[in-house]
Amino acid sequence: MSMGAGLPGDAPLLKASAATRPKAGIVHLGLGAFFRAHGAIYTAEAMAKSGGDWGIIGVSLRHPTQRDLLQPQGFAYTAVELAADGETPQVVEVLQNVLVAREDPLAVLSAMADPAIRIVSLTVTEKGYCHLPSTGLLNRDHPDVVHDLAHDLPRSAPGYLVRALQMRRAAGLAPFTVLCCDNLPENGVMLRGIVLELARLVDPGLTDWIALNGAFPSTMVDRIVPALKPENIAELAEKTGVTDRAPVMHEPFRQWVIEDWFVGDARPDYAAVGADMVRDVRPFEHMKLRCLNGTHSALAYLGYLAGHQTIFDTISDPAFATYCRRLWQSEITPGLDAPQGVDLAEYTGKLFQRYGNPAIRHLTHQIAMDGSQKLPPRILATISENLKAGRDSSGLILAVAAWMRYVGATDENGQPIKVQDPLAARLKTLSDKAGSVTEKVGSILALREVFPANLAENPEFQKAVVASYTNLARRGAGSCVLEYGS
Ligand code: CS2
């Protein structure tokens, strides 16, 4: 008997059950945990239920990690549902292959230009679209865009879409449907605008062809997927008897609302497995982005500064629970048009229960990432509308000030914060060199890619951010949150 007998290290590696993998119909850009715990599962279920060749070729744009972990397992992986009363693992076999764009861009383009591929879906996170978060338009100065304009082999996700569509047009094929699955407002409309603009710069004739023949459905995606902890792998192996080096963890809840607009109507039977196929995603997406992602970000910055590690820890603090509920009630939902048949009080009540799932350890530090990209759609849009309508925004403004504190990169105990954000270096410099709070806030509000002019230049807003920042610096996040609820 070996020393390690019975230990997880001994458990054999997970293997795909089928000798042949499903034929691919989808290329997915950005093979992160979210997609593997959401869209990939819907797709596997839709195929199991209604058939179709909808296997997925996953693409990691930069790092080979996912490919290296998944390949020895035949691209099978375990999705573990984390409910308050226990875990349910399920093996997902829908990935046909994983490609790494940095290693072989041509292989990715060839896959996207293959006639069998009818959908290219994306979860490349907010910053992957190379846009200006405050306007949703292509950022022509983005280094990857500058690169893609000068080279045939792209680097950015929009660059891949444009070049692959160019190849399909040249080959006399129909375009693929571009299915954006990131948390961005009217994500299909936004991505269509970005792709058309980039196409115009690369190959003007291509633009009209895409505009005429392409499809860019908007979607609302929802499932909380905390980052994997290293011990999850050993714990899972102990439970299942097989080692999976690339599992994903997720909450039981899931929702996918998809605008029913696909090239040639070609799509997996998502409706059969619980996705809502609708004509207008906007009310769903506004509701989700502002109620869930808006409070997630607010709780992440304030919670982190107050010393809370996870969303569960944060809302277990009664002052934060009151803060969150009041944000929904007084600042976020009053300006929302609820989707037909949805009661917003019920929706946010359910959200609160999801945040309170003790099995989900969703780190405030994870959600705090990329705030410069996330704040505009999640929080700033609501503040702008509230200001116009004369509604209160003090809790959301407190969150904006907390973000400004957070990106200053020093916590309330004087410890460094590892800020992950494409603008991290600029934000830190602005924060460091300002002499006063007013100067600091003013210089950050002047970042036009984050704050639209009409909001940043509103004196009422400026004053409120300065006051909240001052308050946070003096008294700390915990006591400011407490004060808000009292
Ligand atoms: C979170 C989202 O990390 C974040 O910014 O707000 O990933 C959130 O968990 C999902 O959008 C839930 O659907």
Instruction: Write down the domain spans for the chain.
Output: 24-278, 282-485
Handedness of CA 209, 123, 348, 449 (dihedral sign): negative
pLDDT band at 9 (very low <50, low <70, confident <90, very high): low
Q: Does domain 282-485 have CATH number 1.10.1040.10?
A: yes
CATH topology of domain 24-278: Rossmann fold (3.40.50)
Q: What mean pLDDT do residues 178-203 have?
A: 98
Domain 24-278 and domain 282-485, same fold? Reply is no
Atom of ligand 1 nearest to the CA of 374: 5
pLDDT value of residue 195: 98
Q: Which long-range contacts (CB under 8 A, 24 or more apart) does 423-431 make?
A: 423/372, 423/447, 423/449, 423/450, 427/372, 431/404, 431/407
The residues lining ligand 1, judged by C-beta closer than 6 Å to any ligand atom, are 183, 222-224, 292-293, 296, 366-367, 374
Q: Calculate the alpha carbon distances from 217 to 120, 191, 421 in Å.
A: 11, 10, 28
Residue of 293, 378, 420 to test ligand 1 pocket, by largest number of atoms within 8 Å of CB = 293
pLDDT value of residue 96: 97
Closest Cα to atom 10 of ligand 1: 224
Closest Cα to atom 4 of ligand 1: 367
pLDDT tens digits for range 207-263: 999 999 999 999 999 999 999 998 999 999 999 999 999 999 999 999 999 999 999
pLDDT band at 468 (very low <50, low <70, confident <90, very high): very high
- Reading the block at residue 19, the tokens are 């000798």
pLDDT value of residue 21: 83
Q: Quote the ligand 1 centre to 62 CA distance (angstroms).
A: 21
pLDDT value of residue 19: 72
